[in-house]
Structure 1
Amino acid sequence: MTIPADTKQKAAGRFQVLRLVARNKLALAAVMFLMLVVLCAIFGPWLMGNLIDKPNFRARNMAPFSLAQGWAYVLGADTLGRSLLARLIVGAQNTLGIALFAVFFSMVIGGFLGLIAGYSRGLLSSVILRVADIVMSFPSLLLALIVLFSLGPSVTNLIIVLAVTRIPIYLRTTRAEVLEVRERMFVSAAMALGAGHMRIVFRHIAPIVLPTLVTIGAIDFATVVLAESSLSFLGLGIQAPEFTWGAMVATGRGYLSNAWWIAFWPGLAILLTTLSLNILSNWWRTYADPQQRWRIELARSKKGIPEKRT
């Protein structure tokens, strides 16, 4: 069975990306840490069992780096004696899950509205842009605070608020891309052949805009994680018995003087996750831009790896 040439080319492209990531120590470390966080989010609840809710008053405010109560307490315990390691692992699921849904919905809705606003030239485009301007005129965190205080804190409301505050970013980016793409020759050719507006937008223009939206979504993911953590820290995010890393920091803020580890470990997890996301997204943005990719190739050639000429 013969493998198609385009399939071989795609496989070679993916392998080249992996090799370039492996040559960049920061990008490789970011990928490995994010893979660890994702694995914790997927398998954490199954591995940890009841440790996240099981109180152990003998280990109340237990200091880290002690195995007196078992390996699960190596990072210490909180005010009820619950394992901080277990809660960190399980809390990754809620933290990443909320951010993932918020970014996905904001990308889909913002991208759809951006396609309409960029392709149409009438009143509908102006209305969409003015609504986006109204949303952007409010600080995103302040708008989220107002809405959550009015509707009440819950996972659904938190996802909706985070998604709504990020929609204008995807909307304006998509519109700017569509304004340029719709003037290209292949769009004029599709119109001349009698293609409808819906077919032109979703079959010809949307696939070109999608990679840009995915790149922005990867960059924006870290911002949404920080926003969710801030809202949970203020008590307007996810509510007990569910928890996120931000809620764990809020729990430990009253014990910073005598049990700093309760707030330190979830804060460190938030820091490392957002830092890894920023490092990886910046690397991908450089790689995806043909005008900037020479920086990666230059670093590759300096390490003695010959560049592949085509």
Structure 2
Amino acid sequence: MSATAMTTSADTPETKVSRFQILRLISRNWLALAAVIFLLLVVACAVFGPWLMGDLIDKPNFRARNMAPFSLSQGWTYVLGADTLGRSLLARLVVGAQNTIGIAFFAVFCSVVIGGMLGLIAGYSRGAAGTMIMRGADIVMSFPSLLLALIVLFSLGPSVTNLILVLAITRVPIYLRTTRAEVLEVRERMFVSAAVALGANHTRILFRHIAPIVLPTLVTIGAIDFATVVLAESSLSFLGLGIQAPEFTWGAMVATGRGYLSTAWWIAFWPGLAILLTTLSLNILSSWWRTYADPQQRWRIELARSKKGIPEKRK
């Protein structure tokens, strides 16, 4: 057997172990497992919700106006109650997940891309370009993010595009400064000096050698920041500067039900609970992943695993 074949056969079990290690560890942490299951449910609602319940979100049923929850007199779709026009709250929750999660996803994605690119330039450049980028980030960070969003949306007008844009701009400095700090350390390593000595241009060094090392950190921060963006979008929708009718998000549903808290509390309660559980699940999963990704903190997960009587494989 050749050395290549021996290496391949020897690496196969380790590859399988690393592939399923995260799933096994999550399955033994009931809190992280519950967070994953709930987030998968939210994603499923965002993907398949409009197809399953799209006809019910705008269909009024005046016989079910402000109908209390946990009643099946109007069908199972009214199990969570109805709003002031008799529309199913369950259907609106399921369909509203698409706008809520979609806006947060694109806002985080844009901020990661823009902040990551600017951070690579600011960290690698030793000239005035890096200084100008950092001063621009300081200007953005000097404004409270919610106040800046209110000013921009009031000036440009509320729309999905403007909402994603303003949420992305307010989060860009976080990724910019993180990327710059990573690049300042990575650019001094030996493999970067070797690439420069071999004649590699700056673009190749940035995107071929430095960016792959910085990307996992940005993905981790993006997962943590996702919950913050969901809350920010819900706050803006609650204030009437988010997505506009006939489209809606969970935050807009809370704003609709705030005038009926004393008579029909369920109109605002269910979307508020969805926002709470989504952000809580994101924070729990992000905290678990941060512990797992840090070699100095991973022993906490391994210790919890060993306490349950699962023997650890020693090297």
| TM-score normalised per structure 2 | 0.96
**Alignment of 1:47 onto 2:49:** no
Question: Structure 1 unaligned runs (5+)?
Answer: none
**Alignment of 1:88 onto 2:100:** no
Q: What amino acid sits opposite 2:302 in the alignment?
A: E
For residue 118 of structure 1, the aligned residue among 109, 120, 123 is 123
2:250 and 2:12 map into 1 onto residues whose CA distance is 41
2:171 and 2:15 map into 1 onto residues whose CA distance is 32
Aligned to 2:171: 166
Aligned to 2:189: 184
| Identity fraction in percent | 86
- Per-residue deviation at 1:309? 1.7
1:89 and 1:67 map into 2 onto residues whose CA distance is 18
Determine if contact 2:254/2:267 at 8 Å carries over to the other structure: yes
| TM-score normalised per structure 1 | 0.98
Aligned to 1:107: 112
Aligned to 2:284: 279
Cα distance 1:4–1:101, how it changes in 2: closer, same or farther (>3 A)? farther
Aligned to 2:161: 156
Aligned to 1:72: 77
- Per-residue deviation at 1:4? 6.7
For residue 42 of structure 2, the aligned residue among 37, 41, 45 is 37
Aligned to 1:196: 201
For residue 25 of structure 1, the aligned residue among 24, 30, 33 is 30
Q: What per-residue deviation string (whole Å, max 9, x for no partner) do you get for residues 27-73 of structure 1?
A: 00000000000000000000113100000000000000000000000
- Per-residue deviation at 1:208? 0.2
1:52-63 correspondence runs (5 A): 52-63=57-68
- Per-residue deviation at 1:240? 0.2
- Per-residue deviation at 1:13? 1.1
Q: What per-residue deviation string (whole Å, max 9, x for no partner) do you get for residues 77-124 of structure 1?
A: 000000000000000000000000000000000000000000001000
- Per-residue deviation at 1:11? 3.5
CA RMSD of aligned residues (A): 1.1
- Per-residue deviation at 1:308? 1.4
Determine if contact 2:39/2:281 at 8 Å carries over to the other structure: yes
Q: What per-residue deviation string (whole Å, max 9, x for no partner) do you get for residues 227-266 of structure 1?
A: 0000000000000000000000000000000000000000
Determine if contact 2:54/2:95 at 8 Å carries over to the other structure: no
- Per-residue deviation at 1:14? 2.4
Length, aligned pairs only: 309
